[in-house]
Amino acid sequence: MFKDLVYYTLGTELDTFVQYFVFELILLVLIGLAIVLITKKLWLAFVVILALNIIDAGIIANFNASQGEGTLIGQFFLMLVAKFFPTFYEILLVLLISRLPIIRKKFNIA
């Protein structure tokens, strides 16, 4: 999902590290912050970030399995392991940014 978004936006594929730790990190942190600022519920942003990463891992695993690179279940768990640390950093950044005093005052987050 995000791999296709990068390809259609930039016209080329990114390195895996840059895609996971820069492009997806920025994109999902912005989505998570938008959810926190609109709904004022941090747990909802966590659920959305986790769900988007699981859906993305499933799409990539399905593509890799259809190309003959192992089984669907094996590729899916491999992608979940590969996306563990980027997902952790996405959730951590949303938590830290949404807890800044200036953000809490400006958007009336309790």
- The residue extents of the domains of the chain are 19-99
pLDDT tens for residues 10-54? 788 888 888 888 889 999 999 999 999 999 999 999 999 999 999
State the angle between helix axes of 72-82 and 84-98 in degrees (0 to 180), rounded to the nearest 10.
Answer: 40
pTM: 0.87
CB atoms within 10 A of CB 109: 15
Contact 79, 61 (CB under 8 A): yes
Q: Is the dihedral of CA 25, 9, 58, 15 positive or negative?
A: negative
CB atoms within 10 A of CB 34: 13
Confidence band for 89, pLDDT divided at 50, 70 and 90: very high
